Amino acid sequence: MLQFPNQSRVFDRTRRAVHFWGHDSAMEWSFFIGEDALKRVQPDMRPDEAGFLRAFDVNRGLIQAAATKAYKRERKASYELPANDFVTTSRLAGGK
């Protein structure tokens, strides 16, 4: 079962993404959530390192849930969580 005991996360400047890790038994898996996906969950995110990390921290539970779903779908060396894995607040309220 995938767990996230390590709360560490880092900003990857090259990918413009937040890198974080999950663990399943003794195995460690890398996950990335990029700018588009973070803006989907935090539309007012600042486009700098602090903004990326804050958007991740505020939405950690939602992001980790998406990471768990991606992990269950397919085993890969690393995972990039796409924006379409996240439903916007307006879509939840019945918008498009």
Question: Do you know the residue count of the chain?
Answer: 96
Q: For strand 27-34 and strand 78-81, is the pairing parallel, antiparallel, or unpaired?
A: parallel
Spans of all domains in the chain: 9-91
Q: Say yes or no: domain 9-91 is CATH 3.90.700.10.
A: no
Q: Do residues 82 and 37 touch, judged by C-beta distance below 8 A?
A: yes
Q: Are 42 and 55 in contact (CB under 8 A)?
A: yes
Q: Per residue in 29-88, pLDDT tens? A: 999 999 999 999 999 999 999 999 999 999 999 999 999 999 999 989 899 999 999 975
CB 88, CB 40: distance < 8 Å: yes
